Amino acid sequence: MRSRRMLLVMTLILLLSSTSVSAAEERNPRYTKKIIPIPSSQVIVVKAQHKKSFKGTLSLREKIDGEWQTILSDIPVVLGRQGIDKTREGDGKTPTGVFAIGKSFGTAPRPEGLRLFYAQASKQDYWVDDGDSLDYNKWIRYSGDPAKRWKSFERLHIPLYKYAMIIRYNMDPIIRKNRGSAIFVHIWSSPDKPTDGCVAMSETNLLLLMTKLDPDKLPSIAISAAE
């Protein structure tokens, strides 16, 4: 576990210092193939003010002609109510590390100019955080009573998910022992209200970020504390 954490730190340093993902892969091929879409050429960089802070900033970096360039910067975000470095389900923390960005979704129709895959959520859509269920950390569409199927779940048809993106934390592979689930990028309630573990921002900034992302560039997200 210690060696795995050290590899993660090394990978984050490489990414956040504008070193190419391919270089990180070359140095740690066995590890980075699991956590970084190869070859990711768009990285959302999220930095908490410090490890226990729920406030931070976001930037978007893109590899253009072999060099990493900043496309967006200084976007304010809120994080988990207990800060970052998630270790278990319900700890109120945002995970640290580098993760693939999954599909986008929302209760609203597909935004204009969006290139990411987009799924419109209905009242029958749930994200399961029941650690004893085979559906753990998955999006499930179910027309029955969810309380009879799962001990714990999250409804996806809510105002905060008018627009959102999935952070593929604990999904490749799924660790079933309550490591954490339902980690998204979504709209915040306010700039002074934390999330339960997600990354959130204003609707305007979220739509700007989403429309900048190109699925062909395999976007990923790197989350850490500011130095």
Residue 215 confidence (pLDDT): 96
7 phi-psi bin (left φ>0, alpha ψ -120 to 50, beta other): alpha
Which pTM value belongs to this model? 0.84
DSSP for residue 49: S
pLDDT for the residue numbered 20:
33
90-to-54, 130, 181, 186, 209 alpha-carbon distances in Å: 15, 11, 9, 18, 27
The answer to whether the CB of 160 falls within 8 A of the CB of 49 is no
Instruction: Just list the catalytic residues.
Output: 186, 198
According to the model, what pLDDT value does residue 221 have?
97
Query: How high is the pLDDT of residue 176?
Result: 65
Structural domain boundaries enclosing 178 = 2-225
Please report the pLDDT score of residue 173 as a whole number: 80
- Check: CB of residue 180 under 8 Å from CB of residue 95: yes
Instruction: Provide block-wise average pLDDT over 10 residues at a time, the chain (227 residues).
Output: 40 40 33 50 97 98 94 97 95 96 97 97 96 94 97 97 97 80 97 98 98 97 92
User: Token digits for 208?
Assistant: 């700007």
Count the domains in the chain.
Answer: 1
Buried b (16+ CB within 10 A) or exposed e, 96-124: bbbbbbbebbbbeeebeeeebebeebeee
CB-based contact 140:126 (threshold 8 Å):
yes
Cis peptide before 109 (omega within 30 of 0): no
